[in-house]
Amino acid sequence: MDIPFVKMHGIGNDFVLLDCSAAVYDDLAYLARTLCRRRFGIGADGMLVLCHSTEADYRMRIFNADGTEAQICGNGLRCIAVYAYEHGICRKCEPTVETGAGLRHIVLQTDSDNHVLSVTVDMGTAITDPQLIPVNTVTPFINSPVENCGEKIRLTALSVGNPHGVVFVDDLYDCRFESLGPRLECHEIWPEKANIEFVKVIDRHHIAMRAWERGVGETLACGSGACAAAAAAVINSLADWPVEVQLPGGQLTIDGSSGRLLMTGPATEVFSGKAFLK
Question: 96 and 10 in one domain?
Answer: yes
Q: Is 138 helix (H, G, I), strand (E, B) or coil?
A: coil
Query: Does residue 157 fall inside a structural domain?
Result: yes
Question: 86 and 35 in one domain?
Answer: yes
pLDDT digits (tens, 9 = 90+) for 226-240: 999 999 999 999 999
Question: 97 and 152 in one domain?
Answer: no
The pLDDT score that the predictor gives to residue 276 is 87
pTM for the complete prediction?
0.92
- Cα gap 267→117, rounded to integer Å: 8
Q: Averaged over 5-11, what is the pLDDT? A: 97
- Cα gap 161→89, rounded to integer Å: 25
Sign of the torsion angle spanned by Cα atoms 112, 80, 212, 145: positive
The pLDDT score that the predictor gives to residue 64 is 95
Question: 272 and 252 in one domain?
Answer: no
Query: Does residue 40 fall inside a structural domain?
Result: yes
From residue 123, how far is each of 102, 166, 213, 228, 269 by CA, in Å?
10, 17, 17, 10, 22
How many domains does the chain divide into?
2
The pLDDT score that the predictor gives to residue 23 is 80
- Cα gap 60→79, rounded to integer Å: 10
* 36 counts as catalytic: no
pLDDT digits (tens, 9 = 90+) for 66-87: 999 999 999 999 999 999 999 9
> Catalytic pick from 79, 90, 175, 222?
222
- Cα gap 161→103, rounded to integer Å: 11
Domain range for 205 is 144-260
Question: 272 and 249 in one domain?
Answer: no
> Catalytic pick from 36, 73, 79, 90?
73
Query: Does residue 129 fall inside a structural domain?
Result: no
The helix (run of H) or strand (run of E) holding residue 180 is: helix 177-185
* 175 counts as catalytic: no
- Cα gap 17→47, rounded to integer Å: 6
CATH number at residue 64: 3.10.310.10
Query: Does residue 212 fall inside a structural domain?
Result: yes
Question: 101 and 30 in one domain?
Answer: yes
pLDDT score of 21 more than 90? no
Q: What is the mean pLDDT of the chain?
A: 95
pLDDT band for position 245 (cuts 50, 70, 90): very high
pLDDT score of 220 more than 90? yes
Q: Are 196 and 219 in contact (CB under 8 A)?
A: no
Question: 117 and 9 in one domain?
Answer: yes
Per-state percent for the chain, helix, strand, coil, to nearest 5:
15, 40, 45
> What's the burial of 231, exposed, middle or buried (CB within 10 Å: 0-12/13-18/19+)?
buried
The pLDDT score that the predictor gives to residue 98 is 97
